[in-house]
Copies of this chain bind each other. A is one copy, B any other.
Amino acid sequence: MSKDTLPGLTLCNNAMLRRAARKLGQFYDDVMAPSGLKATQQGLLYQIHIGNEPAMGAIAASLIMDLSALGHTLKPLIRDGYVETFADPDDRRIKRVRLTPQGLVKLDEAMKLWHVAQQRFEDVAGKDKAERLRAALDEIAALDFDLPPAS
């Protein structure tokens, strides 16, 4: 195939996903900036909030995030006093996570901005389209790419 007629990056599912994620991330981050939180941090605080003092592993699993990545991401939030951790009394391997009172206040503040971004997105993209998109993304997150065992 000649270079001039090569298909663009529009063909790679992964590349398109990342590109859209950068775009949307920049927008949400922008709107949330006044709170001092990135959209990812707001999302993480929210996830912790709706969980029942979730274990790190549980959070990582629901966000489809590497456990160590979660640990790293949590650090600035702990440092800033929004989140605290404690060992599960029944299984000391397990570390549970919860919001501090300040974390709760900050989350409230951030959620207001999140609503603005979310609303703006749905206004621009269309509510139906947004909903269908989220459903499609949720499906992808649930896919199983494992090849069946060779035997």
Residues of A within 8 A of B (CB): 3, 6, 8-28, 39-40, 43, 46-47, 49-50, 52, 62-65, 114, 117-118, 120-122, 124-125, 129-130, 132-134, 136-141, 143-145, 147
Question: What is the CB-to-nearest-CB distance from A130 to chain B, in angstroms, rounded to a whole number?
Answer: 6
Chain B residue numbers with a CB within 8 Å of A8 are 50, 62
CB-CB nearest in chain B for A3: B50
**Contact B121 A23, beta carbon cutoff 8 Å:** no
Most buried by B among A19, A27, A43, A139: A19
Residue in B28, B49, B50, B140 whose beta carbon sits within 8 Å of that of A125 in the complex: B140
**Contact A64 B12, beta carbon cutoff 8 Å:** no
Per DSSP, are chain A's interface residues mostly helix, strand or loop, or mixed?
A: helix
Chain B residue numbers with a CB within 8 Å of A140 are 20, 23-24, 125, 133
Chain B residue numbers with a CB within 8 Å of A130 are 13
State A27–B27 Cα separation when bound (angstroms). Answer: 26
Chain B residue numbers with a CB within 8 Å of A134 are 10-11, 13, 16
Residue in B17, B52, B138 whose beta carbon sits within 8 Å of that of A21 in the complex: B17
**Contact B118 A12, beta carbon cutoff 8 Å:** yes
List 8 A-B pairs, minimum CB-CB distance, nearest first.
A20-B137, A16-B137, A14-B28, A15-B43, A6-B50, A20-B140, A21-B21, A17-B21
